[in-house]
């Protein structure tokens, strides 16, 4: 299997969803993302449960921007997600969105493009939407799981994610009549 090198400069791509679809249609097997510009940001929107919206504005009781909050949530939950939640195989390609009947609020904000890319890759591997991923991380924060992760020393200790490799492919084997979607993500940080 050939590895495809993709160099992403955030200034070149304002619409990450379009870029992701283009990359996965042109290079579906394995992709290597090397981030150059971690200061570029993009406008985006999330659908977040009303009761979690206020959590987006604060880190440890101090006011912060949405971009900083999302980066902080990714740092705290990266190990938990990469090491424990992403299974090697999924039996569906579709994404799961949030449950019906939730009181969702649309939150529009500017987020560092690198964070959006990482969220999109994680949510794709988990089979959920970015909004569902954000809500999940906020719920972990509310319940205290992220404090436990940070206290155990499992949180990512740097905000400088430099390389993210994503190998996601649809595999219909002859051994089973059910197709599987195989996922492998490797992340390297500049320590």
pLDDT tens column, 19-66: 455 444 444 445 555 555 556 788 899 999 888 888 888 888 888 888
Task: Answer for the pair 150, 76: CB distance below 8 angstroms, yes or no.
Answer: yes
User: With b meaning 16 or more CB within 10 Å and e meaning fewer, what string describes 152-181?
Assistant: eebbbeebebbebbbbbeeeeeeeeeeebb
Task: Answer for the pair 123, 98: CB distance below 8 angstroms, yes or no.
Answer: no
Structure tokens that stand for 119 in this block: 């969220």
pLDDT tens column, 113-167: 888 888 887 887 777 889 999 999 999 999 998 888 888 887 776 555 666 666 6
Q: Is the dihedral of CA 58, 64, 68, 72 positive or negative?
A: negative
How many structural domains does the chain have? 1
Report yes or no on whether pTM surpasses 0.85: no
Which residue segment(s) compose the domain that 185 sits in? 4-189
For residue 5, give the nearest of 36, 37, 31, 35 by alpha carbon: 31
């Amino acid at each position: 299997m050939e590895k495809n090198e993709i160099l992403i400069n955030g200034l070149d791509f304002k619409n990450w969803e379009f870029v992701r679809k283009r990359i996965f249609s042109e290079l579906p097997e394995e992709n290597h993302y090397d981030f150059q510009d971690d200061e570029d940001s993009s406008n985006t929107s999330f659908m977040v449960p009303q009761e979690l919206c206020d959590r987006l504005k604060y880190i440890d009781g101090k006011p912060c921007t949405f971009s900083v909050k999302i980066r902080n949530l990714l740092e705290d939950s990266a190990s938990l997600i990469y090491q424990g939640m992403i299974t090697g195989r999924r039996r569906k390609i579709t994404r799961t969105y949030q449950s019906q009947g939730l009181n969702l609020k649309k939150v529009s904000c500017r987020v560092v493009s690198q964070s959006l890319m990482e969220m999109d890759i994680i949510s794709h591997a988990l089979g959920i939407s970015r909004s569902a991923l954000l809500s999940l991380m906020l719920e972990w924060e509310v319940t205290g799981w992220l404090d436990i992760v940070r206290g155990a020393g499992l949180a990512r200790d740097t905000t400088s994610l430099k390389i993210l490799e994503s190998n996601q492919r649809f595999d219909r084997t002859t051994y089973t009549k059910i197709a599987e979607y195989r996922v492998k993500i490797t992340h390297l940080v500049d320590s």
